[in-house]
Chain A
């Protein structure tokens, strides 16, 4: 019996459908797949690893084109972040100084203007600060540190900057008193700048006893500086029976090397 081609095709299609049905509708599907997965597993693992390594290699080659660009972008970003970091650090420092100043009560006592030192001229006992006319700074205003230490006074005012004569400047002299809680009347004297960061206490009456280590503060006399600002500490006393006054070498309370942030007393 010879089967016609159409019949053959029909039988094949029916067989195929039956095969698919058996494979998909019975657990045979899982068994078949499992069998092939099992025998293919070692080859698959090798191929998988090889594929991964090869694709990594090609990916690396294609990435190399972008690496230079990415590197430049990252360098730029680093620079941006560094400058941002610096400005944030400055702000933090400024904030801390202001907090400290508030703690001391400077803000309550005086009307202050915060400023930063931009230049120092030790030979001339002057410093340059970054506040000027536009910030309300005017000549002769006192300049102090956040620790309430007297630094000097404004000698010249520019639009954005000001020059500060340190209290050690030769042109500066002001009334001061020696802090001594044991005495009822304060020991008064005159502070004179000697230049080169040196200070001299003069016009102290002979009968008054002063010694090394005594602390000198400003007094309201003369109205140049507000009362109670720290000036310095006596280093050496010069006493002579011939002279009507005694003198003393005073070490300024501020450290020129550490002068970074200052306050200008606008009103006192």
Chain B
């Protein structure tokens, strides 16, 4: 629960930075979308098999992106959930990096 709360604030502020700060740097929409996307990919890539924060991360990240964008709520959630599920599928099938577990230990 604590971890979820941390992710909530983390994605909230990251989205704010992305939509209010990075927008000035003429990076374009695609690049502006990257910080949150990178974090989602990072979490999903390096979480252990027993961890369950990848999907909630994608959901939270997508939710905040939808809040601070003109799209309907669910647009970024769906995209990031799909990204998260795709990573999980790839990792489960072909490889596993137990970084989170090692850190936990």
Contacts and interface: CB of A to CB of B under 8 A. Distances in A.
A197 B68 CA distance: 88
Interface string B1-45: 000000000001100110111111110000000000000000000
Interface residues of B, number: 19
B74 interface: yes
B24 A51 contact: yes
B22 A51 contact: yes
A40 interface: yes
Interface in B35-88: 64, 67-68, 72-74, 77
B20 A20 contact: no
B16 A47 contact: yes
Contacts, number: 50
A44 interface: yes
A43 interface: yes
Contact of B67 (A24, A36, A48, A51): A36
B20 A44 contact: yes
A95 interface: no
Given A24-B72, A29-B73, A32-B73, A48 B26 contact: no
B93 to A, nearest CB: 17
B8 to A, nearest CB: 12
Contacts of A43: 13, 16, 20
Contacts of B21: 47-48, 50-51, 54
A7 interface: no
Nearest to A44: B20
A23 interface: yes
Nearest to B67: A36
A47 B73 contact: no
A58 interface: yes
B35 to A, nearest CB: 13
19 contacts: A20-B73, A23-B74, A24-B73, A24-B74, A32-B67, A32-B73, A33-B67, A36-B67, A40-B16, A47-B16, A47-B17, A47-B21, A48-B24, A51-B21, A51-B22, A55-B24, A55-B25, A55-B26, A58-B25
Interface of A: 16, 20, 23-24, 29, 32-33, 36, 40, 43-44, 47-48, 50-52, 54-55, 58
Which 6 A-B pairs rank lowest in CB-CB distance, beginning with the nearest?
A: A20-B74, A47-B20, A51-B24, A55-B24, A51-B21, A47-B21
Given A40-B12, A43-B13, A43-B20, 15 more contacts: A20-B77, A23-B74, A24-B72, A29-B72, A32-B67, A33-B67, A36-B67, A36-B68, A44-B19, A44-B20, A47-B17, A50-B21, A51-B24, A51-B25, A55-B26
